Amino acid sequence: MTLEKKTVHDIARLARLKIDDAEVEKYRSELSNILALVEQMDACDTTNVEAMTHPFDATLRLRADQVTEVNNREKFQALAPISEDGLYLVPKVID
């Protein structure tokens, strides 16, 4: 599929790109090559190809869901300038 210069300008406008008239031919050629590749891939028969969600049918090992850290909440809140009822109080930044 060969693109026209107007189409390249339209694509650039939609992509919010500013391209010079000198670059239009280069982009037209590159975009046409990309679309030709897409057409070539679209022509492949994939009716008997099973869809894959992942290239490897491997499962991830999961670790046991158990607490490994000590609760240091009171210690950290004692270091805070201001805290109340388990919450850190911070000064208002936005009016």
Tens digits of residue pLDDT in 46-73: 898 887 777 676 777 888 889 889 999 9
For 47, the 3-state DSSP assignment is coil
Name the region of 44 (left: φ>0; alpha: ψ -120 to 50; beta: rest).
Answer: beta
Q: How confident is the model at residue 12 (pLDDT cuts 50, 70, 90)?
A: very high
Q: What is the pLDDT of residue 61?
A: 83
What is d(CA 9, CA 1) in angstroms, rounded to the nearest whole number?
A: 16
* pLDDT at residue 54, as a whole number: 72
